A and B are shown apart, each in its own frame.
Chain A
Amino acid sequence: MRLSNGEAPQTIVFIHCVGSRDPSKGFPYCSRICCMATAKHAVIARSKLPDAEIFSFYIDIRAAGKGYEEFVRRAIEQEDIEFIKGRPARVIEKKGKLVVRSEDAFSGRPIEVEADLVVLTNGAQSQDDAPELAQTLGIGYDQYGFFNELHPKLRPVETNKAGVFIAGMCQGPKDIPESVSQASAAAVKALQILSKDELSREPQVAEVNPFRCTGCMDCMEVCFYTAIEEDEFMRRKVAKVNPGVCQGCGACVAACMGGALEMKIFNDEQIYAEITGLFAVPKGTRGTDGGEAAHE
């Protein structure tokens, strides 16, 4: 019903992908939920207004869930909703009507529809303050403000910060079934940690020698996993690695000026031994030229 005159709309136009899938608007990604949601709304509108003309302008139909394609086909074939492949260029107000001007990609001609109601399916966006939350938690996020999973295939609910899990739209556009399955996975991942009395971790972590540490906290700056925190040792500030959070990249070890940080695997001693080993002169061979000796 149109509030200004109390009349039910006789022509309804749905426009897909408003602001999304458009690199020029800065949102090249697909919002994923709207094809199905629009078809659903169109079918509901049809049930309320059996005589109305209903149009749906789309780029492609991306209803890829279980049973979704069938639903969209039902909307087209049984519910008599006109799906037009084309991206509307503009909507003009003319004599109380909204004129939608678009192309019709199948006929190759421009098309105009005089509508009483135009429904825009806006692209999904992340929360404005999502980056702020991500920075507070120390987890990664992409250029659109969606949180990053640790691995797209193998670790889809974990973040780079151990113990922080993500599920749903905060990670990227997705529908309810997907959000529920991701949330279930995240809940189990969290339980996995809580169900054990002791936490197991990778042996490849960094460790601070507090006698050498000057407390400059350069290591804290470079740690992507926020695994390094301030600690007190003999009444002075030192760095401390949380071995449950450390992923063992070694960035802090290379950053430590004082050589106070060391890794348990890939430690300095091992790498120096490998380097010098390349130039070691095998026993019984002559010559001081390490480079050549390494080839023999």
Chain B
Amino acid sequence: MSKERDRGYDPTIVGLLCNWCTYAGADLAGTTRIKHPQNMRAIRIPCSGRVSPHFIFTSLFQGADGVFIGGCHPADCHYTSGNYYARRRFALMKSLLDFVGVEPDRLTLEWVSASEGDRFAEVVTEFTEGVKALGRPNSLKRDGLES
């Protein structure tokens, strides 16, 4: 990967967004026309507790520059406890990424409620900037991986 391409590149971020809070929050950010970087691609999931570590690794193997998990605020989960499982798994994933040589900052877990369109834009902007600063590609990316 040449130096030139690293400068000011457009990262690709996989967003795994909980159907009940963050996905609706992202929708609200859109309908209220709040500006934020467009690098995050939203994938709707029923609950942040549905996020398996496999999803994160699949994204990184494919070349995602960052993975954003969005869930409901603590005590606000539609399924009552899914976000707590997500939080535990997230903590383990962070150290696992560190162990396998991926910057842990490529992964984030944020709580955004359905009414927090502005907060959604805020955290996405922040994360995108952070991922941009890390550069590309992530060390797990496999070139020529058949999709």
Contacts and interface: CB of A to CB of B under 8 A. Distances in A.
Interface of A: 140, 160, 204, 222, 224, 247-251, 253-255, 263, 265-266, 268, 271-272, 274-281, 288-292, 294-295
A278 B55 CA distance: 13
A294 B12 contact: yes
Contacts of A266: 44-46, 50
B125 to A, nearest CB: 18
Contact of B82 (A251, A271, A272): A251
Interface in B53-98: 54-55, 58-59, 62-65, 78-82, 85, 89
B12 A279 contact: yes
18 contacts: A222-B49, A222-B85, A249-B49, A249-B79, A250-B46, A250-B49, A251-B49, A251-B50, A251-B82, A254-B49, A263-B50, A265-B46, A275-B59, A276-B58, A278-B12, A291-B65, A294-B41, A295-B10
Contacts, number: 102
Contacts of B145: 290
A268 B52 contact: yes
Contacts of B117: none
Contacts of A222: 49, 81, 85
B4 interface: no
Contacts of A271: 43, 45, 55
B144 interface: yes
A255 B41 CA distance: 25
A286 to B, nearest CB: 13
B106 interface: no
Given A251-B50, A255-B85, A277 B147 contact: yes
Interface of B: 9-12, 14, 41, 43-47, 49-52, 54-55, 58-59, 62-65, 78-82, 85, 89, 136-137, 141, 143-145, 147
B50 A290 contact: no
4 nearest A-B residue pairs (beta carbon): A250-B50, A249-B79, A251-B49, A276-B147
A280 B147 contact: yes
A222 B48 CA distance: 13
B16 to A, nearest CB: 8
A254 B59 contact: no
A279 B81 contact: no
B143 A288 contact: yes
Given A204-B46, A263-B50, A291-B63, 13 more contacts: A222-B85, A250-B50, A254-B49, A266-B45, A268-B52, A271-B45, A272-B55, A276-B58, A278-B62, A279-B147, A290-B147, A291-B12, A291-B136
B82 A295 contact: no
Nearest to B143: A288
A140 B75 CA distance: 12
Contacts of A248: 46
Nearest to A280: B147
Given A254-B85, A255-B85, A279 B50 contact: no
Instruction: Name the residue among B46, B64, B81, B82 with the largest chain A CB count within 10 angstroms.
Output: B46
Contact of A251 (B14, B41, B79): B79
